[in-house]
């Protein structure tokens, strides 16, 4: 959603790099480019004016003029001002001192309230709560059925005493759910209310009556982030007619310009509490303004990535894998261990989303978008076609075993060879890193062509043979017996394994505009050797 804004800001900051001092003209030009970028992203005009005024005021002061690196100081100022307009501090649910905590969802039809109710219930359950979903949307066709299905998928209970489809009293349903929660000891009640295609008196009155009946601890306004400035207008109407405590943004994975996310908190004065970015129950996050600002500036979101890894990876299993890698040259770490780690990575979400959270990946968004998720399925199929003994010790894989594995996985023998060869190289590299050594080369991940700079023994031998055939036989004994040089490593393309192309290592420098993102010296040396 923020790709266009991210690209414009990155280009703006790139023009500042290398300048030891910024003139007033530089600051004015930068402010003008940022203003255009925000307006193109459909950010509210009053928010843009306030944002630019704050940036210019701080940029023309001693904060920048006395900085060792003025361009990075400008980026720091923009980052802090973005955090401020996004709401500042992270705000989560205020739970009632005496359960149940009542959460009411309000918004227009099509904003995704019912799906969001399931995601919120799933998240609350993962946090140790016992939520109850209440079907108080009795107007939209099959809304009650949808909520029951969503509740089942989330593994929580639903309360739907009325069939809906225009039948029943939503206010009475909401009121009855309070008694149900007390009887069955649910500590959170989530009330899904009806919406309309537009703001009208009927919608506002029903929402206000439900609010009066259940006296919610939190009223969350659910808004589709793809509807642009109309989201701000709708939020203002709900704030006046019903009142709410926080905002939930849905469809953040869409291709709209994202101005609503940057405007609504500042214009309405209510915090954005949650963000939804997909159809899955896990595509739901607490909204952290500082992390969103970091993503917009192309600096990644390592904290969210770490949190997801902590939830996904089994600590004991990871400890055992690390012990295998660091002992006996890593030979105890087999393809079965690698498969378990790969499955854990997949549970974190799509690879494109994971790579997108890494710092400096702003300029690689096209390659990341073209990642082929099925490549991981192909690797998994090859490993699962092996016997347990073959997974534990791939060194026993001879020609006949590899042919059997290729047939069982529906892949070619060369695919199996590539996976095994690269696994050995990657295992050697990881073992050296685990023991405090810097590998001489950085081979790729197993079975993922283009992910590393190392050349396998099989490829080297084949290249020697081809070079010898091309060279012919020399009449000079010295030349005839001269060794053939190893082939030069092929350029790295981290997206090639997943269907992307055209990677340039130089893109890493200053990628995303979030300061000068530099690779470690060892990796820089590796990339230079590959040109």
Residue numbers in the known binding site for GTP are 107-114, 192-196, 250-253
- 10 Å Cβ neighbour count for 176? 17
Bridge partners (DSSP) listed for residue 190: 103, 133
Q: Locate 82 and state its tokens.
A: 């973005």
Q: Locate 388 and state its tokens.
A: 């347990």
DSSP secondary structure of 243-268: --SEEEEE-TTSSS--HHHHHHHHHH
Q: Locate 207 and state its tokens.
A: 């929402």
Q: Which residue has the tokens 């059925």?
A: 145
- 10 Å Cβ neighbour count for 165? 14
> Which residue numbers belong to the known binding site?
107-114, 192-196, 250-253
Q: Which residues, 6 or more positions from 512, have their beta carbon under 8 angstroms from its beta carbon?
A: 6, 10, 297, 298, 299, 300, 359, 360, 361, 362, 363
Strand 157-159: give its sheet, edge to edge.
157-159, 131-136, 188-193, 101-106, 218-224, 246-250, 272-276, 284-286
DSSP reduced 3-state for 198: coil
Q: Which residues, 6 or more positions from 357, have their beta carbon under 8 angstroms from its beta carbon?
A: 295, 300, 301, 302, 304, 305
| Pair 300, 360: CB distance under 8 Å | yes
């Amino acid at each position: 959603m923020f790709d266009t804004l991210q690209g414009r800001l990155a280009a703006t900051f790139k023009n500042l790099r290398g300048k030891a001092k910024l003139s007033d003209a530089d600051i004015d030009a930068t402010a003008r480019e940022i203003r255009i970028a925000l307006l193109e992203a459909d950010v509210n005009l009053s928010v843009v004016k306030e944002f630019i005024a704050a940036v210019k005021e701080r940029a023309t002061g001693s904060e920048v003029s006395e900085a060792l690196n003025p361009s990075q100081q400008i980026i720091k100022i923009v980052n802090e001002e973005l955090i401020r307009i996004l709401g500042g501090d992270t705000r989560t649910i205020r739970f009632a001192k005496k359960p149940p905590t009542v959460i009411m969802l309000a918004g227009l039809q099509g904003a995704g309230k019912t799906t969001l109710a399931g995601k919120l219930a799933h998240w609350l359950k993962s946090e140790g709560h016992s939520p109850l979903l209440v079907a108080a949307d009795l107007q939209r066709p099959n809304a009650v059925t949808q909520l029951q299905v969503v509740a089942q998928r989330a593994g929580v209970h639903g309360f739907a005493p009325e069939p809906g489809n225009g039948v029943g009293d939503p206010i009475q349903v909401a009121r009855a759910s309070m008694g149900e929660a007390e009887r069955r000891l649910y500590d959170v009640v989530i009330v899904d209310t009806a919406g309309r295609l537009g703001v009208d008196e009927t919608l506002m009155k029903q929402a206000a009556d439900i609010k009066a009946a259940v006296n919610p601890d939190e009223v969350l306004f659910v808004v589709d982030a793809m509807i642009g400035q109309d989201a701000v207008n709708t939020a203002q109407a709900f704030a006046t007619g019903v009142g709410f405590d926080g905002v939930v943004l849905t469809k953040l994975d869409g291709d709209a310009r994202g101005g609503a996310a940057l405007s609504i908190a500042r214009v309405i004065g209510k915090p954005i509490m949650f963000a939804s970015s997909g159809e899955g129950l896990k595509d739901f996050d607490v909204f952290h303004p500082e992390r969103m600002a970091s993503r917009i500036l192309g600096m990644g979101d390592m904290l969210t990535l770490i949190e997801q890894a902590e939830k996904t990876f089994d600590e004991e299993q990871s400890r055992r894998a690390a012990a295998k890698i660091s002992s006996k040259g890593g030979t105890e770490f087999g393809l079965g261990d690698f498969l378990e780690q790969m499955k854990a990575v997949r549970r974190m979400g799509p690879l494109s989303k994971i790579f997108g959270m890494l710092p400096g990946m702003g300029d690689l968004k096209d390659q990341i978008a073209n990642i082929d998720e099925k490549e991981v399925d192909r690797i998994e199929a090859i490993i699962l076609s092996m016997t347990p003994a073959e997974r534990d010790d791939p060194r026993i894989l001879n020609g006949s075993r590899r042919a059997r594995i290729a047939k069982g996985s529906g892949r070619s023998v060369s695919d199996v060879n590539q996976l095994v060869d690269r696994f050995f190289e990657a295992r050697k590299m990881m073992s050296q890193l685990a023991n405090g050594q810097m590998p001489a080369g950085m081979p790729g991940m197993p079975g993922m062509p283009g992910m590393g700079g190392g050349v396998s023994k099989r490829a080297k031998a084949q290249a020697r043979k081809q070079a010898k055939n091309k060279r012919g036989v020399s009449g000079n004994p010295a030349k005839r017996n001269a060794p053939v040089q190893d082939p030069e490593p092929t350029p790295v393309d981290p997206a090639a394994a997943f269907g992307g192309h055209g990677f340039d290592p130089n893109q890493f420098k200053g990628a995303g505009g979030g300061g000068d993102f530099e690779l470690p010296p060892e990796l820089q040396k590796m990339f230079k050797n590959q040109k």
